[in-house]
Homo-oligomer: A and B are copies of this chain.
Amino acid sequence: MQFHHHGYVSTDPRVQPAAGIGLNRSAELPDEMDVLIVGTGPAGMIAAAQLSMFPNINTRIIERRASRLEIGQADGIQARSVETFQAFGFARQLINEAYWITEMAFWKPDPENPENIIRTAQPKDDPTGISEFPHLIVNQARILDYFAEYMKMSPTRMEPDFGYEFLDLTIDRSQEYPVEARLRYTAGPNEGQERTVRAKYVIGCDGARSGVRRAIGRKLEGDQANHAWGVMDVLANTDFPDIRLKCAIQSHEGGNILLIPREGGHLFRMYVDLGVVTEEQSKTIRQTTIDEIIARANKIIAPYTLDVKNVAWHSVYEVGHRLTDKFDDLPNDSTDDETPRVFITGDACHTHSAKAGQGMNVSMQDGWNIAWKLGNVLSGRSSERLLNTYSRERQVIAKNLIDFDKEWSTLMATRPEDLPDPQYLEEFYVKTAEFPAGFMTEYTESMITGTKEHQELASGFPVGKRFHSARAVRRGDANPLEIGHQHTADGRWRIYVFADDATQTDETSKLNAWAKWFKEDATSPLNQFTPADGDEDAIFDTKVIYQQPHLEIEVTSAPKAFVPQCGPFKLDVLENVYAALPEDDIFEKRGISRSGAVVVVRPDQYVSGVFSLEDTAGLTAFFEGALAK
């Protein structure tokens, strides 16, 4: 964490100096704003949190409820989401309070006595070490709280505007604020009254029954019927031995349960399968009482019993696999010359079964994706064409996810005797671990994702996938660190420059030639795109990683390209010079060429491209595309 560089910070250093909008933010929802976000679910809150980091963008987030979410809804946090929270500064705190999934148990009917369940397997949750972060469970409300805290500490001091319901919108592209949205007060003195506001862009994060989706004429298509679950968050005593483990429990006749232990050591959630329900059956199923859910759970876990002492929350959650064909307001056959004004994210454009625990996670990646792009466009760093990449990138991810989810939830609902072989379910779970952990996303070529032409220079950083952090030692303070954890959600691009194997002071090294070009050449990305009045690292956070042990290099011998000056005192930033750890060599671990490589990472942590140190033209061309005005 970098602080004190604008002067001494005596209190919580996470609170950033107010700037731009934050100096004089209106408590009331204004009539005009740059971005209007509808809905404070995970998708909306991450979008707001990301945009809150752009001091000059006026973003507001409205919510129909009168106050924060208190209980219920989703609770599964993939490792990819925890990586994301690291960028928003709250991963550690969340890990402290969440339930941590390290293993998962599978229970099935005892073949000798099918009335009783027995444990058949207990594999590790992340056998391949796919992330340095854990897989967590915590109530959605807490995630929203952490984002709220983040945006409040941001330069813009953003807070949600509770008590406004979105009704509909119209778009008039000839106006400076093309989108007019009609809202209704749902709380406070004006309750029931309507008002209109105007925005340059609207992000619909308003969930499965999205009004924004309706307003732009899109539809969720897919399953005819919903799958229904009796969900309960309860405190109970039981003789079931795995009540503190995530379990898939299949009974012989009584149905099945997904058991999710929860934060705090006592609470747990059970999803009791209520089967597929047509629209007509839905009304009846929704009347399933908590007593019925508990009775059913007891039947499924026989010979064990559940003595429920307290019900924190329960619900009948009905959901199907559905998807919209496009995530913005443009026609399906629009060209790059047209650019969208309204976007939909999360449950508003895709829904899936509760079983794979995807909803909150994928929704957040949607929100982050559109938000950093709007941040770049509205702060003048990129052309509006960037906004077309949102739907193109995220729609296909949602489609893949739904396909996977269908397979997974069908499997879980299949009786063991009907599976190809007894271990089928566990094996599928382990084999496909990358998917539910959130790491299968792989963006294809676009203005922000380059080709795989030079992938062999850094085979462990696949272009289009998330930058997989690895450790290196920061020379200035000799701290061994996860280099990827230094990537915070500040909207900047990362350029990781892996040095060739010359000595540090060899003037003829490829690294030194690259650095000289980057810092001095008028056409280099640094000089083309860094605003004259900003910090030297305002757009590009550029780090060098040497191959030598750290005691063979000096931070003061690193090229100036890696020692930008920042803040009002023009202080040298001494945190961008790294060396490989001999015992955990990032070059080895991520397959980096000993001739060096340049790895470019987008503001949302996905790898944009791999370049050789000599290919400065390629790097320039990439950024001229991505940051085109």
Per the bound structure, the CA–CA distance linking A476 and B7 in Å amounts to: 48
For chain A, residues 1 to 53, give those with C-beta under 8 angstroms from any C-beta of chain B: 1-5, 7-14
Q: Would B478 and A5 count as touching, CB distance under 8 A? A: no
Q: Would A4 and B262 count as touching, CB distance under 8 A? A: yes
A351: min CB distance to chain B, Å? 25
Q: Would B264 and A478 count as touching, CB distance under 8 A? A: no
Whether A479 sits at the interface, judged by CB under 8 Å, is yes
- Chain B residue with Cβ nearest A69: B10
- Chain B residue with Cβ nearest A574: B244
Whether A243 sits at the interface, judged by CB under 8 Å, is yes
Q: How many copies of this chain does the complex contain?
A: 2
- Chain B residue with Cβ nearest A124: B478
Whether A532 sits at the interface, judged by CB under 8 Å, is no
Q: Would B264 and A3 count as touching, CB distance under 8 A? A: yes
Whether A516 sits at the interface, judged by CB under 8 Å, is no
Q: Would B264 and A309 count as touching, CB distance under 8 A? A: no
Instruction: List B contacts of A243 (CB < 8 A).
Output: 476, 574
Whether A572 sits at the interface, judged by CB under 8 Å, is yes
Per the bound structure, the CA–CA distance linking A565 and B307 in Å amounts to: 14
For chain A, residues 339 to 366, give those with C-beta under 8 angstroms from any C-beta of chain B: none
Q: Would B13 and A263 count as touching, CB distance under 8 A? A: yes
Whether A312 sits at the interface, judged by CB under 8 Å, is yes
A247: min CB distance to chain B, Å? 11
Q: Which of B8, B262, B309 contacts A312 (CB 8 A)?
A: B8
Q: Would B237 and A4 count as touching, CB distance under 8 A? A: no
Q: Would A102 and B479 count as touching, CB distance under 8 A? A: yes
Instruction: List B contacts of A145 (CB < 8 A).
Output: 11-12
Whether A267 sits at the interface, judged by CB under 8 Å, is yes
Instruction: List B contacts of A261 (CB < 8 A).
Output: 477
**Which of A8, A99, A240, A570 gathers the greatest number of chain B CB atoms within 10 Å?**
A8
Q: Which of B2, B10, B14, B263 contacts A141 (CB 8 A)?
A: B10
Per the bound structure, the CA–CA distance linking A213 and B263 in Å amounts to: 46
- Chain B residue with Cβ nearest A313: B8
Instruction: List B contacts of A434 (CB < 8 A).
Output: none
Q: Would B100 and A477 count as touching, CB distance under 8 A? A: yes
A147: min CB distance to chain B, Å? 14
Q: Would B477 and A266 count as touching, CB distance under 8 A? A: no
Q: Would A4 and B263 count as touching, CB distance under 8 A? A: yes
A312: min CB distance to chain B, Å? 4
Per the bound structure, the CA–CA distance linking A309 and B479 in Å amounts to: 25
Q: Would A264 and B102 count as touching, CB distance under 8 A? A: no
Contacts A99-B477, A313-B8, A479-B102 given; does A575 touch B1 at CB 8 Å: no
- Chain B residue with Cβ nearest A312: B8
**Which of A11, A99, A477, A554 gathers the greatest number of chain B CB atoms within 10 Å?**
A477
Whether A432 sits at the interface, judged by CB under 8 Å, is no
0/1 interface trace, chain A 264-293, chain B, CB 8 Å (1 if under): 111100000000000000000000000000
Contacts A3-B264, A93-B92, A313-B8 given; does A102 touch B574 at CB 8 Å: no
Per the bound structure, the CA–CA distance linking A570 and B476 in Å amounts to: 53
Q: Would B235 and A571 count as touching, CB distance under 8 A? A: yes
A527: min CB distance to chain B, Å? 22
Whether A334 sits at the interface, judged by CB under 8 Å, is no
A67: min CB distance to chain B, Å? 11
Q: Which of B2, B71, B122, B480 contacts A264 (CB 8 A)?
A: B2
Contacts A10-B141, A262-B4 given; does A102 touch B569 at CB 8 Å: no
For chain A, residues 562 to 581, give those with C-beta under 8 angstroms from any C-beta of chain B: 565, 567, 569-575
Q: Would B575 and A265 count as touching, CB distance under 8 A? A: yes
Q: Which of B7, B13, B244, B312 contacts A4 (CB 8 A)?
A: B312
A572: min CB distance to chain B, Å? 5
0/1 interface trace, chain A 230-241, chain B, CB 8 Å (1 if under): 000101110111
- 19 CB contacts below 8 A, A to B, read A1-B263, A2-B264, A2-B266, A3-B263, A4-B235, A4-B264, A5-B235, A5-B266, A92-B95, A100-B477, A102-B480, A103-B478, A244-B476, A244-B477, A245-B476, A261-B477, A265-B573, A265-B575, A309-B571
Which chain A residues have a beta carbon within 8 Å of chain B's beta carbons? 1-5, 7-14, 70-71, 92-93, 95-97, 99-100, 102-103, 122, 139, 141, 145, 233, 235-237, 239-241, 243-245, 261-267, 309-310, 312-313, 476-480, 551, 554-557, 565, 567, 569-575
Q: Which 7 A-B pairs have the closest CB atoms?
A: A244-B476, A309-B569, A8-B312, A3-B264, A4-B264, A103-B478, A244-B477
Q: A8-B312, A122-B478 are in contact. List 9 more A-B contacts (CB 8 A).
A: A1-B97, A3-B263, A3-B265, A5-B265, A9-B264, A11-B145, A13-B264, A93-B93, A103-B478
